[in-house]
A and B are shown apart, each in its own frame.
Chain A
Amino acid sequence: MSIFRLLILSAFIFIAIGCVRSERMENLYAQRCLGCHGPSGSGDGPVAALLPVHVPNFLETVRNKSVTQIRKIIMDGKGIMPAYEPALSKPEVQDMVLFTRILSQRGRNVEWWERFDPLVWAHCNVPWEVVLGYDEPPEENKPR
């Protein structure tokens, strides 16, 4: 393989990896979510035990919800969970959606192609809902 081709292949791999999970996502999750949802999203964060409500496991909630539903909960809040829409930018909310999805995949027996979902709909500025037909597109993106 020529160096040129190797570089192209490396670039593809790095772009793919960069789209899946980033330090920015981890920091965002650690700052805003980890206290209740815990390091793996199982609802066992240090604050969770003191709350008067049950913090659900992502395996029981996020895994069964659509991307649009997850985004709405993150933006609007639910119960005592904060509404992050006023504080976070859209790319940050998108990162949160993606990260919760990643955590919710643990131990799941997924089809091989599903593992590459995030490549398409991560923070790569691809209109992923439309590309995948994964969910109804957000209101602002619907054709008029």
Chain B
Amino acid sequence: MNLRPKGLVIGIVAAGAFLFGEQNRAISGEPHPHSIARPASRRQLHLPIPDFSLTDHTGKPFKFQTLRGKLVLVAFVYTTCPDVCPLMTASMRLVQEKLPDRKRSSVFLLSITTDPEVDSPQILKGYGERYGIDFSNWLLLTAELQTLAPVWKAFGVGVQRKARGLVDHTPLIALIDGKGVMRFGYVGSSPDHKVILRDIDLLLGSR
């Protein structure tokens, strides 16, 4: 090919300048709507939760009714969530860590996925390990969509799939009493673990 040197040089310089500029340009895209950090709102409720059966992170079946008599802290999250869920799970992790030993046997934690398409038991186990979760009183649960949908509904959680591994959902952490009744709901991306611990104390004291 017999390109004129001047034209070729101009072309390459133009392409190089464009590329260099591209590499140094900061992204201007908007984050996912959920990433707008808002403090969680605390609501006091009296909502009986029906029994349900799901599969835990080890692949074993789990029945909600086996936790009767204990306080249960339930979070609705999914493992590839890029915004609210890390804050929610980190808050749950702090609750588990700060819980005094004498109350430990009275409290159980559950994370229920809102993305059954991706979150298999194995994926959930890896997620829990990355967070340093103590699995002795914390299970991560999944199931088929048709099994999970009624559970989401029972807790008042809305779930909308946007793309594979990208789901909009109500960012709910719920505190259930020993009779299976939701007593407190924390809706928002950043629930304060101290508030949750105080409510746990309140319910343990009132039994």
Neighbouring A residues of B101 by C-beta, 8 Å: none
Q: Would A31 and B82 count as touching, CB distance under 8 A?
A: yes
Quick check: is B195 within 8 A (CB to CB) of the other chain? Answer: no
Q: Are A83 and B23 in contact (CB under 8 A)?
A: no
Interface flag for A97 (CB, 8 Å): no
**Partner-binding segment picked from B41-49, B125-133, B144-152, B196-204:** B125-133
A-chain residues with CB within 8 Å of residue B81 when the two chains form the complex? 82
Tell me if A47 and B90 are in contact (CB < 8 A).
no
Binary per-residue interface labels of chain A (82-108) against chain B in the complex, 1 for a CB within 8 Å, 0 otherwise:
111011100000000000001101110
Chain A residues closer than 8 Å to B87, beta-carbon distance: 47, 50-51
**How many Å from the CB of B161 to the closest CB on chain A?**
11
Residue A127 is within 8 A (CB to CB) of chain B in the complex: no
CB contact between B23 and one of A47, A102, A112 (< 8 Å): that residue = A102
Chain A residue nearest in CB terms to B162: A31
Tell me the minimal C-beta distance from A119 to chain B in angstroms: 8
A-B CB pair tally, cutoff 8 Å = 151
In the complex where A1-B7, A5-B7, A86-B118 touch, is A20 in contact with B82 (Cβ < 8 A)? no
Measured between C-beta atoms, what is the minimum distance from B95 to chain A in Å?
Answer: 12
Cβ–Cβ contact B79 & A82, under 8 A: yes
The total of chain A residues at the interface (CB under 8 A) is: 53
Chain B interface extent, by class: 35 or more
A52 and B90 contact, Cβ closer than 8 Å, known pairs A82-B79, A84-B80, A87-B165: yes
Question: Provided the pairs A21-B23, A82-B81, A83-B79 are in contact, do residues A30 and B31 lie with their beta carbons within 8 angstroms?
Answer: yes
**Hey, which chain B residues are within 8 Å of A32, CB to CB?**
32, 80, 82, 166
- A25, B151: Cα distance in complex, Å: 35
- In the complex the two chains form, is B118's CB within 8 Å of A46's CB? no
Query: How far is B15's CA from A27's CA once the two chains are assembled, in angstroms?
Result: 24
Proximity string of chain A (43-77) to chain B, C-beta cutoff 8 Å, 1 when within and 0 when not: 00111011111000000000000000000000011
A-B contact pairs, 27 of them (CB 8 A): A1-B3, A9-B8, A9-B11, A12-B11, A13-B14, A21-B23, A26-B27, A30-B30, A31-B31, A31-B82, A34-B29, A34-B35, A39-B26, A46-B36, A47-B35, A47-B82, A51-B90, A82-B79, A82-B86, A83-B80, A83-B127, A86-B80, A86-B165, A87-B80, A88-B164, A116-B16, A116-B19
6 pairs of A and B residues whose beta carbons are closest in the complex: A87-B165, A30-B29, A35-B35, A40-B26, A35-B83, A87-B80
- Interface residue ranges, A against B (CB under 8 Å): 1, 5-6, 8-9, 12-13, 16-17, 20-21, 26-27, 29-36, 39-40, 45-47, 49-53, 76-84, 86-88, 102-103, 105-107, 112, 115-116, 118-119
